[in-house]
DNA sequence: CACCTAACGTAATCATTCT
DNA sequence: AGAATGATTACGTTAGGTG
Protein backbone atom coordinates (compact mmCIF):
# COMPACT_ATOMS: atom_id res chain seq x y z
CA UNK A 1 0.00 0.00 0.00
CA UNK A 2 2.96 2.22 0.45
CA UNK A 3 3.58 2.26 -3.26
CA UNK A 4 0.61 3.32 -5.30
CA UNK A 5 1.82 5.10 -8.35
CA UNK A 6 2.88 2.20 -10.55
CA UNK A 7 -0.54 0.63 -10.35
CA UNK A 8 -2.35 3.74 -11.43
CA UNK A 9 -1.72 4.19 -15.11
CA UNK A 10 1.89 3.54 -16.05
CA UNK A 11 1.71 -0.10 -15.16
CA UNK A 12 3.17 -1.27 -18.41
CA UNK A 13 6.63 -1.77 -16.96
CA UNK A 14 5.85 -4.33 -14.36
CA UNK A 15 8.95 -6.45 -14.54
CA UNK A 16 10.72 -7.30 -11.37
CA UNK A 17 14.03 -9.01 -11.40
CA UNK A 18 13.47 -12.74 -11.49
CA UNK A 19 13.66 -14.16 -8.02
CA UNK A 20 17.08 -15.61 -7.34
CA UNK A 21 17.18 -18.85 -5.43
CA UNK A 22 20.35 -19.40 -3.51
CA UNK A 23 21.84 -22.83 -3.35
CA UNK A 24 22.44 -24.47 -0.02
CA UNK A 25 26.13 -23.78 -0.30
CA UNK A 26 25.54 -20.11 -1.00
CA UNK A 27 23.08 -19.86 1.85
CA UNK A 28 25.49 -21.51 4.19
CA UNK A 29 28.12 -18.91 3.46
CA UNK A 30 25.66 -16.06 3.77
CA UNK A 31 24.29 -17.26 7.08
CA UNK A 32 27.77 -17.76 8.37
CA UNK A 33 28.79 -14.26 7.37
CA UNK A 34 25.65 -12.84 8.90
CA UNK A 35 26.32 -14.43 12.23
CA UNK A 36 29.76 -12.93 12.23
CA UNK A 37 28.60 -9.49 11.19
CA UNK A 38 25.05 -8.52 10.24
CA UNK A 39 26.35 -5.17 8.95
CA UNK A 40 29.03 -5.97 6.41
CA UNK A 41 30.79 -3.04 4.82
CA UNK A 42 31.05 -2.61 1.11
CA UNK A 43 34.25 -4.56 0.72
CA UNK A 44 32.87 -7.43 2.76
CA UNK A 45 29.75 -7.53 0.63
CA UNK A 46 31.84 -7.37 -2.47
CA UNK A 47 33.96 -10.25 -1.28
CA UNK A 48 30.90 -12.31 -0.49
CA UNK A 49 29.47 -11.57 -3.90
CA UNK A 50 32.56 -12.97 -5.54
CA UNK A 51 32.68 -15.90 -3.20
CA UNK A 52 29.19 -17.14 -3.94
CA UNK A 53 29.15 -15.83 -7.48
CA UNK A 54 26.30 -13.35 -7.38
CA UNK A 55 25.90 -9.60 -7.56
CA UNK A 56 26.73 -7.34 -4.67
CA UNK A 57 23.23 -5.89 -4.79
CA UNK A 58 21.80 -9.34 -4.07
CA UNK A 59 24.03 -9.58 -1.03
CA UNK A 60 22.83 -6.21 0.15
CA UNK A 61 19.18 -7.19 -0.23
CA UNK A 62 19.76 -10.48 1.45
CA UNK A 63 21.28 -8.84 4.51
CA UNK A 64 18.50 -6.28 4.65
CA UNK A 65 15.87 -8.99 4.59
CA UNK A 66 17.72 -11.14 7.04
CA UNK A 67 18.10 -8.32 9.54
CA UNK A 68 14.43 -7.51 9.22
CA UNK A 69 13.29 -11.06 9.86
CA UNK A 70 15.81 -12.32 12.34
CA UNK A 71 16.38 -9.60 14.84
CA UNK A 72 19.97 -10.52 15.51
CA UNK A 73 20.69 -8.75 18.89
CA UNK A 74 23.49 -6.38 18.15
CA UNK A 75 24.06 -2.72 18.64
CA UNK A 76 27.03 -1.89 16.44
CA UNK A 77 25.76 1.64 15.80
CA UNK A 78 28.72 3.96 16.13
CA UNK A 79 31.51 1.56 16.78
CA UNK A 80 34.22 3.67 18.29
CA UNK A 81 36.97 2.18 20.38
CA UNK A 82 37.64 4.09 23.54
CA UNK A 83 41.32 4.43 22.85
CA UNK A 84 41.62 8.09 22.06
CA UNK A 85 45.34 7.80 21.81
CA UNK A 86 46.27 10.47 19.37
CA UNK A 87 49.79 9.26 19.88
CA UNK A 88 49.20 6.44 17.43
CA UNK A 89 48.83 8.21 14.13
CA UNK A 90 49.89 5.36 11.92
CA UNK A 91 46.83 3.32 12.62
CA UNK A 92 44.48 2.50 9.85
CA UNK A 93 41.77 5.12 9.77
CA UNK A 94 39.35 2.58 8.50
CA UNK A 95 37.07 2.86 11.48
CA UNK A 96 34.49 4.75 9.50
CA UNK A 97 32.08 2.27 7.97
CA UNK A 98 33.29 1.41 4.58
CA UNK A 99 30.69 2.28 1.99
CA UNK A 100 30.63 2.12 -1.73
CA UNK A 101 32.36 5.11 -3.22
CA UNK A 102 29.92 7.80 -4.11
CA UNK A 103 29.32 7.58 -7.83
CA UNK A 104 29.28 10.90 -9.59
CA UNK A 105 27.21 11.25 -12.70
CA UNK A 106 28.20 13.33 -15.67
CA UNK A 107 25.70 15.85 -16.91
CA UNK A 108 24.88 13.69 -19.89
CA UNK A 109 24.30 10.68 -17.68
CA UNK A 110 22.07 12.79 -15.48
CA UNK A 111 20.21 14.03 -18.49
CA UNK A 112 19.49 10.49 -19.58
CA UNK A 113 18.33 9.52 -16.11
CA UNK A 114 16.10 12.55 -15.79
CA UNK A 115 14.54 11.94 -19.15
CA UNK A 116 13.84 8.36 -18.24
CA UNK A 117 12.39 9.49 -14.93
CA UNK A 118 9.85 11.79 -16.48
CA UNK A 119 8.95 9.01 -18.83
CA UNK A 120 8.52 6.53 -16.00
CA UNK A 121 9.56 7.07 -12.37
CA UNK A 122 9.13 3.36 -11.64
CA UNK A 123 11.22 1.52 -14.23
CA UNK A 124 11.16 -2.24 -14.10
CA UNK A 125 14.25 -4.36 -14.19
CA UNK A 126 14.40 -4.31 -17.96
CA UNK A 127 14.30 -0.55 -18.21
CA UNK A 128 16.80 -0.16 -15.40
CA UNK A 129 19.22 -2.54 -17.01
CA UNK A 130 18.83 -0.85 -20.34
CA UNK A 131 19.50 2.52 -18.76
CA UNK A 132 22.46 1.15 -16.87
CA UNK A 133 23.92 -0.16 -20.06
CA UNK A 134 23.28 3.10 -21.81
CA UNK A 135 25.08 5.29 -19.31
CA UNK A 136 27.63 2.72 -18.25
CA UNK A 137 26.79 2.33 -14.59
CA UNK A 138 25.66 -0.71 -12.58
CA UNK A 139 21.95 -1.35 -12.53
CA UNK A 140 21.91 -1.13 -8.75
CA UNK A 141 23.07 2.48 -8.98
CA UNK A 142 20.25 3.28 -11.36
CA UNK A 143 17.79 1.81 -8.91
CA UNK A 144 19.16 3.89 -6.07
CA UNK A 145 19.08 6.98 -8.22
CA UNK A 146 15.40 6.50 -8.93
CA UNK A 147 14.63 5.87 -5.28
CA UNK A 148 16.38 9.03 -4.21
CA UNK A 149 14.82 11.03 -6.99
CA UNK A 150 11.32 9.90 -6.06
CA UNK A 151 11.90 10.60 -2.39
CA UNK A 152 13.18 14.08 -2.99
CA UNK A 153 10.43 14.89 -5.39
CA UNK A 154 7.89 13.90 -2.76
CA UNK A 155 9.60 16.02 -0.15
CA UNK A 156 9.69 18.95 -2.51
CA UNK A 157 6.01 18.61 -3.19
CA UNK A 158 5.16 18.44 0.46
CA UNK A 159 7.23 21.49 1.17
CA UNK A 160 5.58 23.30 -1.66
CA UNK A 161 2.21 22.76 -0.08
CA UNK A 162 3.43 23.92 3.30
CA UNK A 163 4.83 27.08 1.86
CA UNK A 164 1.61 27.68 0.03
CA UNK A 165 -0.31 27.60 3.27
CA UNK A 166 2.31 29.80 4.88
CA UNK A 167 1.86 32.34 2.17
CA UNK A 168 -1.86 32.31 2.73
CA UNK A 169 -1.24 33.41 6.30
CA UNK A 170 1.08 36.21 5.30
CA UNK A 171 -1.27 37.45 2.66
CA UNK A 172 -3.81 40.13 3.50
CA UNK A 173 -1.38 42.73 4.75
CA UNK A 174 -0.83 44.75 1.66
CA UNK A 175 -3.24 44.59 -1.28
C1' DC B 1 -3.88 -22.37 0.55
C1' DA B 2 -0.11 -21.12 3.96
C1' DC B 3 4.51 -20.25 4.68
C1' DC B 4 8.96 -18.50 3.64
C1' DT B 5 11.60 -15.08 1.58
C1' DA B 6 13.64 -12.34 -2.61
C1' DA B 7 12.48 -7.99 -4.63
C1' DC B 8 11.12 -3.57 -4.02
C1' DG B 9 8.80 0.54 -2.04
C1' DT B 10 9.13 4.70 1.36
C1' DA B 11 11.10 7.52 5.09
C1' DA B 12 14.84 8.83 7.63
C1' DT B 13 19.53 9.44 8.00
C1' DC B 14 24.49 9.24 7.11
C1' DA B 15 28.21 10.95 4.20
C1' DT B 16 30.50 13.31 0.42
C1' DT B 17 30.93 17.03 -2.77
C1' DC B 18 30.38 21.56 -4.08
C1' DT B 19 29.30 26.43 -3.58
C1' DA C 1 28.18 26.42 7.07
C1' DG C 2 24.69 24.75 4.16
C1' DA C 3 22.56 22.83 -0.21
C1' DA C 4 22.57 18.71 -3.28
C1' DT C 5 22.66 14.27 -3.76
C1' DG C 6 24.56 9.33 -3.48
C1' DA C 7 24.51 5.32 -0.02
C1' DT C 8 22.63 2.76 3.82
C1' DT C 9 19.35 1.57 7.15
C1' DA C 10 14.60 0.11 9.29
C1' DC C 11 10.35 -1.30 8.20
C1' DG C 12 6.46 -2.55 5.34
C1' DT C 13 4.49 -4.62 1.03
C1' DT C 14 4.40 -7.58 -3.20
C1' DA C 15 5.12 -11.70 -5.40
C1' DG C 16 7.48 -16.32 -6.61
C1' DG C 17 8.37 -21.13 -5.11
C1' DT C 18 7.23 -25.07 -2.28
C1' DG C 19 4.95 -28.28 0.97
Rounded alpha-carbon distances, angstroms, from residue A21 to A54, A64, A67, A76, A119:
11, 16, 18, 29, 32
Evaluate if the CB of A145 falls below 7 Å from strand C: yes
**pTM (predicted TM-score):** 0.82
Question: Does strand B come within 7 Å of the CB of A144?
Answer: no
Residue nearest to nucleotide B16 (CA to C1'): A102
Determine the Cα–Cα distance for residues A67 and A71; give it in Å rounded to an integer. Answer: 6
- Segment A122-141 shows an average pLDDT of 98
> CB of residue A64 closer than 7 A to nucleic acid strand B?
yes
Which tops the pLDDT comparison, A83 or A115? A115
Distance separating alpha carbons of residues A152 and A155, to the nearest angstrom? 5
pLDDT digits (tens, 9 = 90+) for A43-61: 999 999 999 999 999 999 9
Q: How far is the CA of A39 from the C1' of B4 (A)?
A: 23
DSSP states along A137-155: S-HHHHHHHHHHHHHHHHH
CB proximity A67–strand C (7 Å threshold): yes
pLDDT class for A89, splitting at 50, 70, 90?
very low
Give yes or no for CB of A149 within 7 Å of strand B. Answer: no
Could you give the CA distance from residue A34 to residue A40 in angstroms, rounded to a whole number?
A: 8
Which pLDDT band, with edges at 50, 70 and 90, does A160 fall under? confident
DSSP state letters, A93-126: ---SPP-PPPP---HHHHHHHHHHHHH-SS--HH
Which domains are assigned to chain A? 21-75 (1.10.10.60), 107-174 (1.10.10.60)
Report how far residue A3's alpha carbon sits from residue A81's, in angstroms, rounded to the nearest whole number.
41
More confident residue, A26 or A172: A26
Amino acid sequence: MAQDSPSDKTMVTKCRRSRTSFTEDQLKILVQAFSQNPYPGYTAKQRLAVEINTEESRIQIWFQNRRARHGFLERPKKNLDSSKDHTSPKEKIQDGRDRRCRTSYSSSQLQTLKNAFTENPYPGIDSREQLAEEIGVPESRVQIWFQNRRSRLRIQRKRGLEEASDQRQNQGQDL
